[in-house]
Each structure stands twice: as C-alpha cells, then as structure tokens.
Amino acid sequence: MQHRREYHIVILGAGGVGKSCLTSQFVHNEWIEYYDPTIEDVYRKVIDVDGRSCILEILDTAGTEQFTAMREIYMKAGQGFLLVYSITSLSTLTELSDLRDQILRIKEADSVPLVIVGNKSDLEEDRAVRRDRAIMLSQKWGRVPFYETSARKRQNVDEVFLDLCRQMMRADVGGSGSGGGAGGGGPSEKVAQTPRKKRRFCVIL
C-alpha cells in the first residue's frame, strides 16, 4: 500500500480576513456567513496531489492579538503557510510581512512553502488593495505564489491548498516529512477544537 505523507499547514492573517471560511470551504465545502472569531481549530483532510495521496493537518489560527500567544509553537511545527489578507483592507496585507519575518526567524530558514492569499475577491466594489500591491510583495519575497480567492464563491480555494501542497512535497523530497500512517478516520474531519469564545466589547456611550 502506498505510504501517505502527512503535512502540517498553518493559516495566518489578521482577524476577519476569512481564514476559517477558506478552511471550511476547502475541508467541508461549506460557507459560513456569520463571524465567530477563532481561537484555534485543527482539521484533517486526505487529498490527492498529482496522483499522490497525502494527509493534510490544517491549523486555522486566531487573527486577533489576544489569542496569538501560541504562534511560535505552531509556526515551528508548520511545514506550509497560507498568509491571508482581505482585498478590502490594506492593513491586513501590510501585516503579513511581520508574520513572514516571524516564520522565517522561528524556522531558521530563508524561505518556506508559502502562499499569499487575497481573500474576499467577490467584494470588488469594496476593494482597497490592488492586485499589483500583492504582486509586488510576492516578488519581494522571491516570487511567492499569490492568488485572489473568494471563500464565499469558492473561487481559487482548492488551488491555494494544492499549490502549497506541491511546495511542501518539493521541500520534502529529502524524505523529512512527518511520516505516514493513514490514521485519523475519514477523508475530511475536524479533529480538535478549543472552546470558542465570543469577544465582548464594552461600548462607552
């Protein structure tokens, strides 16, 4: 039987850019309309990439500062990273540089498998980030792949995960993947979830 590689993906980006929606569309083909800030969710999915079956463990992280204490730990464990911004907010793109710097520092590497994802492309009328802004960033980082996606319309969702998988597979050619074993049950499932907490804000009138 074919030995399945397992790869660890970490999804990073500011709060509300659509990390959970992208993950939900990829893993379950489901659209989530409401906004429920994530603390940390882990999913597993078996996919076929160019005829090779592999297991993805996908960590959907908290964009909100108050939940970022675990960042260093999961950056160290991650093998591939989706850096997500929203095309409706320029600051969410500029924030990605700090995240990439942190990843490279923690992994003590010059480059890692990574994709820049400009989500909410269906909101063209609210666009605040031109494509060429993200393309410039991609070139600055050594031609890192860049996609615009719409989790709402499920556009380019599979493509970003597949691109990242191919990069991780290439990086893994030396055989340093985290091993096989087709454990984990069915082809797609949520394996762990820390309790979700809604943030409450105090409004001073």
| Binding-site ranges for ligand GTP (CB under 6 A) | 13, 15-21, 32-35, 37-38, 62-64, 119-120, 122-123, 150-152
Closer to ligand GTP by CB, 5 or 45: give it. 45
Closer to ligand GTP by CB, 22 or 112: give it. 22
Task: Give the nearest distance from C-beta 27 to ligand GTP in angstroms.
Answer: 13
Task: Give the nearest distance from C-beta 184 to ligand GTP in angstroms.
Answer: 23
**What backbone phi and psi angles, to 5 degrees, belong to 146?**
-130, 135
Closer to ligand GTP by CB, 47 or 151: give it. 151
Task: Give the nearest distance from C-beta 170 to ligand GTP in angstroms.
Answer: 27
Closer to ligand GTP by CB, 32 or 106: give it. 32
Task: Give the nearest distance from C-beta 137 to ligand GTP in angstroms.
Answer: 19
Closer to ligand GTP by CB, 49 or 75: give it. 75
Task: Give the nearest distance from C-beta 82 to ligand GTP in angstroms.
Answer: 11
CA 174 to chain centre: 24
* Encoded amino acid at 122, one letter: D
CB 149 within 8 A of CB 156: yes
Beta carbons within 8 Å of 189's beta carbon, 6+ residues apart: 43, 44, 45
Say how far apart CA 100 and CA 115 lie, in whole Å. 11
Distances in Å between the alpha carbon of 140 and those of 106, 128, 137, 162? 20, 20, 5, 23
How many CB atoms lie under 10 A from the CB of residue 139?
11
